């Protein structure tokens, strides 16, 4: 309240300086709030990035496991196909129609 009264009775030059000081303080508060907000957003995004990186590593491991299982199954399939062909050949040699 005293600041308001001083402003009212001040000469125009002093009033202008008081306004400049007031707005400089307001800009400082605004700046500090923006920095705090951006810092918090950065921390949140960093945390999300770490989580996604971890999930990516987990998924990469699962893909590797599935790829390995797929190769194993493909190999077994090839083996079974060869055995099937051999059994057909043996059955045909024995005179049994398949």
Q: pLDDT tens digit string along 84-95? A: 999 999 999 998
Whether 53 maps to a domain, the answer reads yes
- What one-character DSSP code corresponds to residue 10? S
Residue 87 lies in a domain: yes
Write out the residue range of the structural domain in which residue 83 sits. Answer: 2-93
Domains contained in the chain, number: 1
Residue 54 domain flag: yes
pTM of the prediction?
Answer: 0.56
End-to-end, the C-alpha distance of the chain in Å comes to 106
The verdict on residue 41 lying in a domain is yes
| Token representation of residue 85 | 């062909």
Q: Which residues contact 91 (CB under 8 A, 6 or more apart)?
A: 97, 98
pLDDT tens digits, residue range 44-85?
999 999 999 999 999 999 999 999 999 999 999 999 999 999
Tell me if 98 is assigned to some domain.
no
- The secondary structure of 32-86, three-state, reads HHHHHHHHHHHHHHHHHHHHHHHHHHHHHHHHHHHHHHHHHHHHHHHHHHHHHHH
């Amino acid at each position: 309240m005293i600041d308001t009264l001083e402003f009212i009775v001040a000469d125009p030059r002093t009033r202008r300086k008081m306004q400049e000081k007031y707005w400089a303080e307001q800009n400082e508060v605004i700046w500090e709030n923006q920095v705090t907000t951006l810092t918090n957003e950065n921390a949140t995004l960093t945390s999300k990035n770490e989580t996604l990186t971890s999930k990516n590593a987990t998924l990469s491991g699962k893909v590797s496991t599935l790829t390995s299982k797929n190769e194993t199954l493909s190999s077994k399939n090839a083996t079974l196909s060869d055995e099937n062909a051999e059994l057909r050949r043996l059955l045909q040699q024995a005179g049994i129609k398949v």
